[in-house]
Structure formats: structure tokens, C-alpha cells
Amino acid sequence: MKILIIEDATLVAKRIESLCVAAFANATCDIAFDIESALTHIQLFTYDLIYLDLNLNGSHGFELLNSESVDPTKVIIVTAYQDQAAMAFEFAVFDFICKPIKKSRFLHVAQRAINAMPHDAELIKINHAKKQYSISLSDIYYIKSEGNYSQINTIKGTQLLSDKTMHYFESTFDSLFRIHRTYLVKRALIESITKLGAGQYRVTLLDGLQLPMSRGAYKHFNKK
């Protein structure tokens, strides 16, 4: 996943970068602080996603949208002005995020972007009930251990029982994080972590689902 961040405020650009690393598997980010350097990056590289601030040191992000140098469906607007974001939708941009940036909103938009992208390279073959299925990594909501098997719960609400182990999924896909010996979840879907006391913790996902978290996972997550 290659991402271009076009933002003239260094701290904001770095925050977007850190959120991208958390939200997208194997994300690599370039930062451009003005339109000219953004165009140079776009000429040199192909980006899967572009985060565009509309106010750039006296220049305007609409110049980039008008230039036909970018595919607007890959652009996420980042702005403090909702009226400007509304104008940007006339260019068919993918979505917008208001400043100050809220993590929950950022990750929600990121997940939508993941779901909208082709993921043929991330197709996972699963043997279930003597049949073979192929699902995308982006379709996985969380995975629950069922003995020597793994119960895959998808975003659409379906369940598949895979003969692949939890260790396989954890070691193969960086975006999956083991919050408990029995659960793997998408890092990008974690909304909050609550300390319950007595060494017990609880993870709340973006849609409100609550799952247990182990003390070791809590320490590892905070360290990461």
C-alpha cells in the first residue's frame, strides 16, 4: 500500500502517517508539503491512496484535483472546512476527514478504502465443510480459535471454519493482531481498550463489539 500525504503542517502530516501505518498493512507513506512537490511525487510513483489538505501554504488543493494528475476516487480530503469538503465531492473524491483528526473517523474511512480496493493478492483460500472458499483479507472482521481450527467471522456476518491455525493468520498478515489467545482482530478496527482491573482488559471495535484482551496483548499493543 503506497500512500501520498499532501499536507503543509508537519505535525498533522506525521499524525496522518502514523494512522496510515496502523490502518493499512505494509503501508509506505510519502509526504509532500506543497502542490509542486506533490506533482513531482505523482509523476514518479503510483499511489494507492492520496490524503490531500485543501489549504497548502497559500495554494489550494483544488489545483491538484483540476490538474487531472490524480484519480479523484483515490483522494481523501483532509480539511478544517466542511464546506470545502462538500465542494470536493464534485470531483468525485473518495471521502473526507475533518480537522482536528479523530482516530475513529480516520480508521472508519481507511476501512472503507480497504474494502473498495482490489485485493486479489490478499485472497485467502479456506477449506470449509469439504469445500474451498476464497475470501479477501479485507473481508475478515475477527478470527476466533476453535481448538485446532480457526473460526473466521466476516464483515458481512458470515462464519467460516478454517483448518489453518491462529498462528498461521497471525504470522502471515501484519494487519491482524492477537488480543487474546482465542481472538485475532484487525488493528484498524480497534476503537478503544478498557482496563477492567485484576489484570483484565476489554477491546471495543468500531461497531461496538467487545472482546476480551489479555494482559500480555495489552502490554504488546501499547509497546507497538
Q: How far is CA 63 from CA 26, 47, 58, 155, in A?
A: 30, 18, 11, 37
Q: Which three cell numbers stand for residue 140?
A: 475478515
Q: List pLDDT tens digits, range 3-17.
A: 999 999 999 999 999
The verdict on pTM exceeding 0.75 is no
Question: What is the predicted pLDDT for the residue at 123?
Answer: 63
Domain ranges of the chain: 2-116, 122-223
Q: For residue 84, what is the enclosing H or E element?
A: helix 82-88
Cβ contacts of 80 within 8 Å, gap of 6 or more: 55, 98, 99, 100
Q: Which of 208, 203, 138 is nearest to 176 (CA)?
A: 138
Q: Which of 107, 105, 79 is nearest to 93 (CA)?
A: 79
Q: Which three cell numbers stand for residue 155?
A: 464483515
Q: Which three cell numbers stand for residue 68?
A: 487531472
Question: What is the predicted pLDDT for the residue at 29?
Answer: 92
Q: Considering only the top CATH level, what class is 2-116? A: alpha beta
* Residue ranges for the chain with pLDDT beneath 70: 58, 118-123, 223-224
User: How is residue 175 annotated by DSSP?
Assistant: T
Q: Considering only the top CATH level, what class is 122-223? A: mainly beta
Measured distance between the N- and C-terminal CA atoms of the chain, rounded to whole angstroms: 20
105 neighbors 99 (Cβ within 8 angstroms):
no
Question: What is the predicted pLDDT for the residue at 122?
Answer: 57
Q: List pLDDT tens digits, range 112-143.
A: 998 887 654 456 777 777 777 777 777 788 99
Neighbours of 17 (CB within 10 A): 19
111 neighbors 134 (Cβ within 8 angstroms):
no
